[in-house]
Amino acid sequence: MSDISKVLENAKKIHFIGIGGSGMCPLAEILHSKGYRLQGSDNNESSIVERIRKMGISVMMGQRPENIEGADMIVYSAAISEDNPELAAAIKSGIPTFQRAELFGEISRHFENCIGICGTHGKTTVTSMTTQIMLGAGLDPSCVIGGKLPLTNSYGRVGNTENFVCEACEYKDTFLHLSPNVAVILNVDEDHLEYFKTMDNLILSFTKFAELAKSAVIYNGDDENTLKAVKDVTGKQMISFGFSDKNDYYPANIEDYKGAYTIFDVIHGGECLGRITLSVPGRHNVLNALAAIASAVYSGAEFNDCIKGIEDFRGAGRRFEHLGTYKGIDFIDDYAHHPAELKVTLDAAMKLGYKTVWAVFQPFTYSRTAMHFDEFVDVLQIPDKCVMTEIMGSREVNTYGVYTSQLAEKIPGSVWFNTFQEVCDYVLKNAQAGDLVLTMGCGDIYKAANMMIGELKK
């Protein structure tokens, strides 16, 4: 039995530092449903905090040492630094403390059928699609998702079965804490190399995750790095998906409705299971749908449930999320932050028939911007107009000497600004009815979208 298992078995009161985080809330909900006494703290009021309080969980604003009094276990998110007053007090007092990833892993061991969905791109979409299918199929899964699922208006839910659908993130090997019954690998692309250092190390990490699977590995049979990751994995049922007819699941008779929304037959084992019309744009979502279908069918869903679930799915929060139409201008927000994600998102947007597509991009982390500089320059020339903010450094210091102004110099016609207010003013001064304003990035660029919408509402 692991340390966290022993502590959790005897814990009477658990304190969450940063309980309002989208990754912390679903774990708190699951423990609450199992009868644990919980409390937590956060620095900001939010809809998540409101949701937690409605469950009867106490949430304190501000983080102070006295908040942890009476707790016999502390859980903290990766965003919490060691000098956080509550974490420092917990360590000093000897209260057992665990990172969110450790608790996440322990919770995954409480479900017989944990489906861990990983990959450099598409995790949130596929986790959301799979959850939506399984809910419609009556499989009542618990889930932890990196974005808000409109069907449940939450980042997770507590079901009453042994099914657990969860997003498994490779960053700093956090997914290796999980105990999946089914490991789903969507793709392995060059990212987080400030941690992994080399592609070989990154691929090896995905191999380790696949080896954790107790029953099956569902993988992208068209992706070269994914194939490297799974080539020596044995003792599991290996199920592939992709565009090629060499895969176990693949599409046929593909058509693009209105240039962007794809219709296709799903082929499995040489048999046509049926025809599906996606409600989210971009051909990359064909692969996402196939991964979700393979995961749900393996877990007991019928294909008719898959058709309904996929066709009813209109995206997760911040995944090509339509925020509304104001003064004839459509606003869509997307989490894309890696060049490969930007490309598929922008390619899809350019096929939707807008007069002008405005890409409003916030680069995230200096390391990613520096390592993929030329790729960012290429993909940010796809839209009609490119507007950028300064780089959001997050956890990093700019030892790379990279700035958005350097990107702007290489991207013809692009502009950049230091503040969201400047972005808002520029776009609203120039955008017209019939245009699309697409905010992109995994930081807080959605605030710029909200700001523009707020101005137009006035």
Give the residue numbers marked as catalytic. Answer: 123-124, 167
Residues 6 or more apart in contact with residue 198 via CB below 8 angstroms: none
What token pair was written down for 59?
Answer: 């949430």
Compute the radius of gyration of the chain from its Cα atoms: 22
**Cα-based distances in Å from 41 to 31, 79, 156, 157:** 16, 13, 19, 21
**Cα-based distances in Å from 145 to 9, 67, 104, 122, 455:** 25, 28, 12, 12, 31
The amino acid at residue 389 is: T
Residue 173, CA atoms < 13 Å, CB-side half-sphere: 13
Residue 35, CA atoms < 13 Å, CB-side half-sphere: 2
Give the β-pairing of 97-99 and 163-167.
Answer: unpaired
- Cα–Cα distance, 102 to 107 (Å, whole number): 9
What token pair was written down for 408?
Answer: 């702007």
Element holding 330 (H helix, E strand): strand 329-334
- Cα–Cα distance, 184 to 239 (Å, whole number): 9
